[in-house]
Amino acid sequence: MERNLKPTRSHWIATLIITCVALSLTLMTFGCGGSSTPDTAANNFFEAINSGDWGAFQGAVLPERVRVMSGTEKQQLQAQLEKKGEKYSGLKFKVVKDKKDKNKAKVVILSGKISGQGTASGQQQTMDFKDVPEESRTLNAVRYKGRWYVDIQLSQGEAQPQSATQSGQ
C-alpha cells in the first residue's frame, strides 16, 4: 500500500493557521517596541526602569538612540538598569504635541515620586516631581514608523539632535 505524501489543500491551510498563531504569540510576548501614544511610551520607559527590564527599556527608547551605543555603553547601562536603584511611582503625564511636527511631542511629568539611595548618605531618599522644575521633568517623544518612543541621548559620543528651529526646518 503506497501513501500519497503530496500535501493537500487542508494541510497547507493548517500550516498557515499554525504559523499565524505562532507569529501572533511571538509579537504579543516580545512586542515590536514603541507605543501607541507619547504618554504610554513614557510610562513604558519608567516601568522598564522600575523592573530592570533591559529589553523593555530598549523597546521604549527611539531605536536609533539604542543603535548608536557602543557595546561597552550598552553593557554599562544594562548593568545599571538591572541594579534597580531608582523606583518611580504614581506618575501622571501631560502630552504637549509639537505644533509644527505631528511626529514629535513633549511628555511632562505632572506628579509622582522617585525613590533611590542617596549618593552621599547611602540612605533611601524620595523626591516629589512637583518640586522639580518643569524643564527637568519633561521628556521628548518621537513617532517612528507609526509608534511612539522616548527620545533620550544614551551614547556619550552622540550629539543631541538639533531642534527644528536650529536646523532650519
**pLDDT tens digits, 96-114:** 999 999 999 999 999 999 9
Structural domain for 68, as ranges: 34-154
Question: How many domains, the chain?
Answer: 1
Cell 527637568 belongs to: 136
163 within some domain: no
Q: Is the pLDDT of residue 93 over 70?
A: yes
Has residue 86 been placed in a domain?
Answer: yes
Cα four-point dihedral sign 153, 65, 98, 148: negative
139 forms bridges with which residues in the sheet? 107
Please tell me which of 31-40, 65-74, 152-161 the model is most confident about, judged by mean pLDDT. Answer: 65-74
Q: What sign has the CA pseudo-torsion 84, 44, 144, 106?
A: negative
92 located within any domain? yes
User: Around 82, how many Cα atoms within 13 Å sit in the side-chain half-sphere?
Assistant: 8
Task: Determine, yes or no, domain membership for 2.
Answer: no
**Which amino acid, one-letter code, is at 90?**
G
Measured between alpha carbons, how far apart are the two ends of the chain, in Å?
75
For residue 91, is it within any domain? yes
Phi, psi of 47 (to 5 degrees): -65, -40
The Cα–Cα gap between 88 and 95 comes to 18
Q: Which amino acid is at 124?
A: Q
63, 149 contact by CB (below 8 A) = yes
| Average pLDDT across the chain, whole number | 79
Q: Is residue 97 situated within a structural domain?
A: yes
- Comparing CA positions, the residue from 73, 101, 90 lying closest to residue 158 is 73
**95 — pLDDT class (breaks 50, 70, 90):** very high
* pLDDT band with cut points at 50, 70 and 90 for residue 1: low
Residue 27 predicted with pLDDT over 70: no
The pLDDT-based confidence of 8 (bands split at 50, 70, 90) is low
In CATH, what number is assigned to the domain containing residue 39? Answer: 3.10.450.100
With respect to residue 16, please indicate whether it lies within any of the assigned structural domains: no
pLDDT at 21 over 90: no
Query: How many CA atoms lie within 13 Å of 120's alpha carbon, on the beta-carbon side?
Result: 0
List helix spans (H) across 83-168. Answer: 164-167
Q: What does the alpha-carbon distance between residue 8 and residue 14 come to, in Å, rounded to a whole number? A: 10
Residue 160 in domain: no
> What is the per-residue pLDDT for 34?
86
pLDDT per position as a tens digit, 37-71: 999 999 999 999 999 999 999 999 999 999 999 99
